[in-house]
A and B are shown apart, each in its own frame.
Chain A
């Protein structure tokens, strides 16, 4: 009420003083600048004057703001957008009034909310990312004519516009050409004033990709056509992308799909929908791309299902045989986390997500604008609560042991760390949503934002249970379990991503976070040999780089690793994880015993097959070095994640290709063509400095190979017929290799010898057999 009295008193005083001036001003007419394109890409339009706001500004369809529910008479920092999400900010905060309720006059019949500067004579609007057009009205406090000037962030200005304080609120509109966003508008006056009657538009192109956590699997209802009969992508009206779309005044191009793996983004159809990267809008016009991906590549839900089945089976069997039999060791273990092999396999599968995730992010960067597209990757929350009491709630204790719940939270940390590393490597923004979900896991004290065993999402498939080819249960409602519900989508994912966008220091022209600089593969050979220190594990020597994953290792290289944080006297195993290391992607490379201070030191050798790079060397694979043992608290620490689980001892770096310098005489390297007699044995010699191996260890399986080629234009083949050697060629380990190639008497013309090494590189020589 104070505001009302102040405002009305001011008007009574003012009206007697300036009535003459008012007549003069009106009689002279108020000169308004014609709509004109200002310098730059933002344009001012004040042409509506005191009339009603037109439905369009520039080429944009404007959305007027609705009624503001904030209390009248209070200072407010901003106003919510018409969508109900996101805000237009006021600096400083303005007093919330209404025409007829604290503020007496306006123009064009408007009677809604207005915001008063109090004693101030300037204020600034802060607009949400992606704003393309915004209008407002302004009116001075006194019943008199004062000049008001509005200026956008690039300096585009209305110039001083005379505005009469008596029922003559004036329209100020700014719009862009779509290449930049309106970020702020400063309003200055000769006196205090009010603003109100806002409208806004956006030209943001928002593409929402990803898997079931992005489609909104656990938060129905779903968009028509995505809940069967053939397409079960389950895109939800409650998905976080829908919330973000409202915040930025845009309808997302929504392609996320339940069950998607990275291949469904880059290369493969899912449910008859094309690879997400080929969908309309996934190109340089995209302003914002969001996604979660990788969980299905890691088989997270399948592993969880296995553990649930193990618990249920064990409980049933143990109850049936009775406690004595269980005590005698005849029962089943209800916890899969107690199985080291199970955990090792699950962890290896998680680590192997790095490559596909990094490639997917790289592909999306390649498909979109390097400067105008913001790619935001979100990770996955802890499914299970942190406290023992919450973990023991009825809904969880029936299906999982607390040990398994703890393991799955650690597995989520491991996966999130892998995804963060991949995003960093590829140059994508990364939003860690784990803290947003804190307290909101299944059975969480703060209220669950994740479904437990859920019956929410419908059948999810044409037939849930088939026996002997006959569908006997067509609608088992079970999908959507262990997925975010509507609150998780909105208050978890959307809120975390929106906060990340708002906090971004470096922005695209439309106000979204710039993609981080893409890291390039380090070059070989540096005299700088600092240790890589990540967690407690130091690795040296490295040829370049001190940051996590920035160092350079070489296949076959001998390294010294040193770490700490282990229980004194316990055994510690050392592993290397790399895409080249077979099906599990990891290999134990050493062991050590923790000293009385809990430290370990050991010498390891990077396995020769630890590769994963392309032959150009431009996209190198990462090798993780893990020390795994028992923690000082006595807890069994079976696993180490690059992101940092305590006691965390991990490091990673780039594995480079072997330094192949060409074939040695008598073989001449391309473009030379070697003239040889068919049937002769040809010594194929080469050297790989630092490899220290035997020939069979450095050759890729099935190689060398050879194939007929044109002598004039042999090309660069990658495969041919297997070759034979006159002897195995494996002598003592070393850096020099000699393959005795037995050629065939029947060969004529030119033939290319293709030598592929375990590092993935190809090396060729051409022979003319006459």
Chain B
């Protein structure tokens, strides 16, 4: 019964081709060639020191740029990022005050401010013209005398954004 079988075969192949197309977007290899932007973020002086008493909970996390092709959505690049998680027993005002000075010394310009009146996001332009974004977010508030947890994150756009 080749005639009966041919319709589903053709339909299946046509739809198979259609869905295959979802997975074949243009994937440039130029999101962050040589991880240059990632390395630049990693070397930023803002990560060089922590407030007194603060303890990093792990090494500096380096997240390379990557090209993602989520199904049924546009494909494109995620930029490189670097983040450091640390705990501090000091009051939040001391931590944010420290980074207000530390980020300024590292060339970051304040943007959004938190309830304490201190910057919690910054931007800068690196010497090679690449933009950087920095954020300091308290993710876990201190309680019962324990330390609060903070994440300091720096990111840059991918060299090719789509």
Contacts and interface: CB of A to CB of B under 8 A. Distances in A.
A523 B75 CA distance: 45
A270 interface: yes
Given A461-B75, A479-B74, A362 B87 contact: no
B59 A615 contact: no
Given A259-B75, A316-B8, A464 B25 contact: yes
Interface residues of A, number: 84
B124 to A, nearest CB: 12
A460 B161 contact: no
A309 B135 contact: no
B105 interface: no
- Identify the interface centre among A264, A312, A617: most chain B CB within 10 Å of its CB: A312
A269 B74 contact: no
Contacts of B30: none
Chain A interface, DSSP helix/strand/loop, else mixed = loop
Given A232-B76, A301-B70, A301-B71, A465 B24 contact: yes
Given A266-B153, A267-B83, A616 B1 contact: no
Interface in A39-62: none
A283 interface: yes
Contacts of A302: 70-71
Contact of A284 (B6, B79, B115, B161): B115
A597 interface: no
Given A312-B12, A315-B12, A617-B146, A320 B5 contact: yes
Contact of A278 (B75, B135, B143, B158): B135
A614 B162 contact: no
Given A270-B76, A453-B18, A480-B72, A614 B115 contact: no
A608 to B, nearest CB: 19
A618 B140 contact: yes
B42 interface: no
Contacts of A304: 71-72
Interface stretch (A100-108, A366-374, A573-581, A652-660): A366-374
29 contacts: A217-B73, A230-B161, A232-B74, A259-B68, A263-B63, A267-B155, A268-B78, A269-B77, A272-B162, A278-B134, A283-B113, A283-B114, A301-B73, A316-B13, A362-B140, A363-B151, A366-B137, A367-B112, A370-B115, A460-B75, A461-B25, A465-B24, A466-B27, A476-B18, A478-B72, A479-B74, A616-B140, A619-B139, A716-B56
In order of increasing CB-CB distance, the 7 nearest A-B pairs are A269-B79, A272-B161, A232-B74, A316-B12, A460-B74, A301-B71, A283-B112
Interface of A: 212, 217, 228-234, 258-259, 261, 263-264, 266-275, 277-278, 280-284, 296, 301-302, 304-305, 308-309, 312-313, 315-316, 319-320, 322, 359, 362-363, 366-367, 369-370, 398-399, 453, 460-466, 471, 473, 476, 478-483, 518, 520, 523, 614-619, 716, 718-719, 760
Interface of B: 1, 5-6, 8-9, 11-13, 15-16, 18-27, 55-59, 63, 68, 70-81, 83, 85, 87, 111-115, 120-121, 123, 131, 133-135, 137-144, 146-149, 151, 153, 155-158, 161-162
Given A320-B9, A614-B57, A718-B57, 6 more contacts: A228-B162, A259-B76, A269-B77, A269-B81, A322-B5, A466-B27
